[in-house]
Structure 1
């Protein structure tokens, strides 16, 4: 009898955990979700399969006063938070709001680098899970979003790629990115978050 009770309790617990990972739906953050002084710091490193380090450093973003509105520092630029929370009207967005486990969409991005090289990303995206994830900055409930596809550029580069993004609604941002693109692996992880 005791074993049956333990099995039933285990099944109830597992069922509750399973619901926790699948039932969440997250809307896009709004301006009211951001506060002055909020700060994110990521460490990043990109290495080729040969061991050549192509990028290694940190990236910081912070919510600051920008004229009469809130802005976010991104590198040397500051952009209004209203631009960040503006709904993406694209039919192929990076994040297809609302986020929920099982959702699938197509992501496409055309870009131009600082040296004038143009390129394109075309990926299939899928939300695989919503569960606790631990990074250097702490433990957060996060969506695991997998992007698979191809990147090409005007210099003849073409590579298949897989990206895994861990997006945490509580910090309104990704907490980890793992990208494999041809012979290049890039990892970016949140190491500090403060309000």
Structure 2
């Protein structure tokens, strides 16, 4: 009997070790997670269903030292990193931390473009999976988050949209975005990620 009990316990322990692990909950990155010199480069391209290219280029962001602490370069601006990692207290955030597979929430975004056009995005977000994903910058464990909804603006634009974001905790941001909005398709992909050794 004792031998059978030991054998049963051994099987239970081996089974527990062999079962797939559920990923830990992923929290929002904090200031301590970044370092000076960390750099991300994405390529992006947006094309209409008619084949008109509306956007095509690269976007580079880098962590730099500012007088008041760390900052992130975004285009010609440098934004204090404390503002970027500040928790979003909205009831309809872009990311509802902590991230975990199966989680759903509503995302709403009201925006104003440089030409004064205002608009609204209303979407339902769902975390579909957490698995290895490969982009030009490499292979990362990433959450697949699907956003489905609608975008409208003050010029009368109204379109259904679907966005698939691949968020990789190791690089603290998305590694790929695929968006379909009306007659416009957009893809943005991380092509380089580096940080000081």
Normalising to structure 1: TM-score of the pair? 0.90
Displacement of 1:37 after TM fit? 0.3
The equivalent residue for 1:49 is 49
Q: What is the aligned partner in structure 2 of residue 5 from structure 1?
A: none
Q: Please report how far the alpha carbon of residue 154 of structure 1 lies from its aligned counterpart in structure 2 after TM superposition.
A: 0.1
Separation in 2, partners of 1:94, 1:45 = 22
Q: Quote the Cα distance in structure 2 between the aligned partners of 1:187 and 1:68.
A: 35
Report the Cα distance in structure 1 between the residues aligned to 2:178 and 2:117, rounded to whole angstroms.
Answer: 24
Structure 1 residue ranges (4+ consecutive) displaced by more than 6 angstroms after TM superposition: none
Give, in whole Å, the separation in 2 of the partners of 1:134 and 1:66: 33
Are the aligned partners of 1:24 and 1:101 in contact in 2 as well (CA < 8 Å)? no
- Using the alignment, how far apart are the partners of 1:109 and 1:76 within structure 2? 23
1:102 equivalent to 2:102? Answer yes
Q: Deviations over 1:40-94 (max 9, x none)?
A: 0000000000000000000000000111300000111111111111100000000
Where structure 1 has 5 or more consecutive residues not aligned to the other structure, the ranges are 1-11
Alignment partners' CA distance in 2, 1:66 and 1:47? 37
Equivalent residue of 1:100, what SS? coil
> How many Å separate the matches in 1 of 2:90 and 2:61?
25
CA distance in 2, matches of 1:93, 1:78: 23
> What is the match of residue 158 of structure 1?
158
SS of the equivalent of 1:95 reads coil
Q: Aligned pair 1:144/2:113, yes or no?
A: no
Separation in 2, partners of 1:121, 1:31 = 28
* DSSP-derived class of the 1:180 partner: strand
Report what 1:60 is aligned to: 60
Structure 2 CA distance, aligned partners of 1:62 and 1:194? Answer: 9
Q: Give CA-to-partner distance per residue, 1:108-147, whole Å, 9 cap, x none.
A: 0000000000000000000000000000000000000000
- Counterpart in 1 of 2:92? 92
Q: Output one character per residue of 1:93-113: Cα deviation in whole Å (capped at 9) or x when no partner.
A: 000000000000000000000
How many correspondences in the alignment?
A: 179
Kindly report which structure 2 residues correspond to 1:1-195, keeping only aligned pairs within 5 A, or say none.
16=19, 19-20=20-21, 22-195=22-195
1:6 is matched with none
Q: CA RMSD in A?
A: 1.1
Tell me by how many angstroms 1:23 deviates: 3.1
Structure 1 position 24, deviation (Å): 3.0
Paired with 1:101 and 1:68, the residues of 2 have a C-alpha distance of: 37
Query: What's the TM-score, normalizing by structure 2?
Result: 0.89
